[in-house]
């Protein structure tokens, strides 16, 4: 019996060769299946043994690590040296850090959403109560406020699409670039655009809240619409698409799944950056012939979610 111990690859530990010479007519039970080969008086019997070691890092852990890296928006950071001894530690550290980042951003998102939403509800209630004082109901002003709130929310999608293409991917790329790179921490420089968009919304709401009349009512409605769009954008874009915090049942809405898939294609730069919009991203992608890629991305995300749930 001759034993050969192999050092590479790692999962092969023992390799043994057993050779037997026989002039007998009997056939070894181990080689009965190879009887057609026994037409010479000299027979050779070779047995190869493999001893498999349990891998230190499971495939599931590596897939989770890759999944976390992909959702951060980085393609280069997905390169993993799986043969290193400390890969398990790298994975566990990365997952722990991502959980901490998501928790931090979730707290910020919930607090800001509750604060803005409560102020918006308070403002709407007192403004309409103010309008109805004295028994008169200014229907024109109230309808104008409602119409501008809806119009501003829809119009923000087209503003965001134009600004994304003409500003963020142009003169303001030095700020927006942080959104297309691996994020180190719960926040990124690109988040400042949310604050910039909040300034006119707050100004319009304040002016409309503190003044009476049709024009202030229209301004109040516009500020309210911008606020509603901002909250929806945060939950769908930051939460659902980039998984910066959990969004619960929002992830099960079929159209939002299409929105998320379309935006991920934007990060792939497959169609010159299209789509630049968010909520109308699927339609924008279809207009440039990206329907097939959109369906593939949707199926990929659904399959991956099933595997990790």
Q: At what angle do helices 59-71 and 291-308 cross, to 10 degrees?
A: 130
Considering the chain, what percentage of its residues have pLDDT values greater than 90?
40
Structure tokens at 14: 């023992």
Handedness of CA 211, 213, 219, 224 (dihedral sign): positive
Rounded Cα distance, 304 and 63, in Å = 10
- Would you give the DSSP letter of residue 250? G
Structure tokens at 29: 């039970």
Question: Would you place residue 69 in the very low, low, confident or very high pLDDT band (cuts 50, 70, 90)?
Answer: low
Residue 304, pLDDT score: 82
Q: What is the per-residue DSSP string for 273-285?
A: T----STTHHHHH
Tokens 């749930």 found at: 309
DSSP reduced 3-state for 286:
helix
User: Residue 25: is its pLDDT beyond 70?
Assistant: no
Q: Rounded to whole angstroms, what are the CA distances from 174 to 73, 168, 188, 223?
A: 16, 8, 12, 28
**CB 80 within 8 Å of CB 65:** yes
Q: Rounded to whole angstroms, what are the CA distances from 289 to 4, 197, 286?
A: 58, 31, 5
Segment 182-208 mean pLDDT:
90
Question: Would you place residue 240 in the very low, low, confident or very high pLDDT band (cuts 50, 70, 90)?
Answer: very high
Pairing type for strands 2-4 and 15-17 reads antiparallel
Structure tokens at 204: 């319009």
pTM here?
0.66
- Interval 51-64: pLDDT, tens: 444 444 444 445 54
Q: At what angle do helices 59-71 and 87-131 cross, to 10 degrees?
A: 40
Between 44 and 166, the higher pLDDT residue: 166
User: Residue 288: is its pLDDT beyond 80?
Assistant: yes
Neighbours of 295 (CB within 10 A): 12
Rounded Cα distance, 309 and 67, in Å = 13
Residue 251, pLDDT score: 87
pLDDT-wise least confident of 20-34, 62-76, 193-207, 216-230:
20-34
Across the chain, the runs of DSSP E, i.e. the strands, are 2-4, 15-17
- Interval 77-121: pLDDT, tens: 444 444 454 677 777 776 777 777 667 767 777 777 777 778 778
Q: At what angle do helices 214-233 and 192-210 cross, to 10 degrees?
A: 150
Neighbours of 288 (CB within 10 A): 13
Q: Rounded to whole angstroms, what are the CA distances from 304 to 9, 59, 72, 85, 227?
A: 30, 14, 16, 27, 33
Question: Would you place residue 126 in the very low, low, confident or very high pLDDT band (cuts 50, 70, 90)?
Answer: confident
**CB 281 within 8 Å of CB 263:** yes
Rounded Cα distance, 71 and 36, in Å = 57
Q: Which of 229, 88, 89, 214 has its CA nearest to residue 156?
A: 229
Segment 150-178 mean pLDDT:
96
Q: What are phi and psi of 20, to 5 degrees?
A: -130, 135
- Would you give the DSSP letter of residue 253? -
């Amino acid at each position: 019996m001759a034993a050969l111990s192999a050092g590479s690859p790692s999962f092969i530990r023992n390799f043994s060769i057993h050779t037997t010479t026989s002039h007998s007519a009997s056939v070894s039970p181990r080689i009965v299946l190879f009887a057609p080969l026994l037409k010479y008086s000299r027979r050779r019997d070779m047995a190869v043994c493999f001893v498999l070691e349990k891998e230190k890092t499971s495939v599931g852990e590596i897939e989770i690590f890759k999944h976390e890296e992909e959702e951060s928006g980085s393609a280069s950071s997905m390169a993993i040296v799986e043969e290193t001894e400390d890969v398990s530690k790298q994975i566990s550290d990365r997952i722990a850090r991502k959980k901490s980042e998501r928790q931090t951003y979730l707290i910020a998102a919930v607090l800001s959403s509750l604060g803005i939403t409560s102020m918006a509800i308070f403002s709407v209630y007192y403004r309409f109560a103010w309008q109805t004082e004295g028994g008169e109901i200014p229907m024109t002003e109230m309808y104008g406020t409602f119409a501008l709130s809806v119009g501003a929310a829809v119009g923000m999608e087209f503003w965001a699409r134009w600004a994304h293409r003409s500003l963020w991917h142009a003169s303001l790329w030095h700020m927006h670039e942080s959104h297309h790179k691996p994020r180190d921490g719960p926040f990124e420089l690109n988040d400042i655009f949310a604050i910039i968009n909040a300034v006119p919304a707050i100004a319009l709401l304040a002016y409309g809240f503190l003044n009476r009349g049709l024009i202030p009512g229209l301004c109040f409605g516009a500020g309210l619409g911008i606020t509603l769009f901002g909250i929806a954008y945060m939950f769908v874009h930051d939460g659902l698409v980039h998984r910066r915090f959990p969004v619960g049942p929002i992830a099960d809405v079929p159209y939002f799944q299409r929105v998320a898939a379309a935006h991920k294609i934007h990060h792939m730069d497959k169609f010159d950056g299209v789509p630049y919009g968010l909520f109308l991203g699927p339609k924008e992608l279809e207009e440039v012939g990206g329907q097939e890629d959109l369906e593939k991305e949707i199926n990929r995300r659904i399959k991956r979610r099933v595997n990790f749930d």
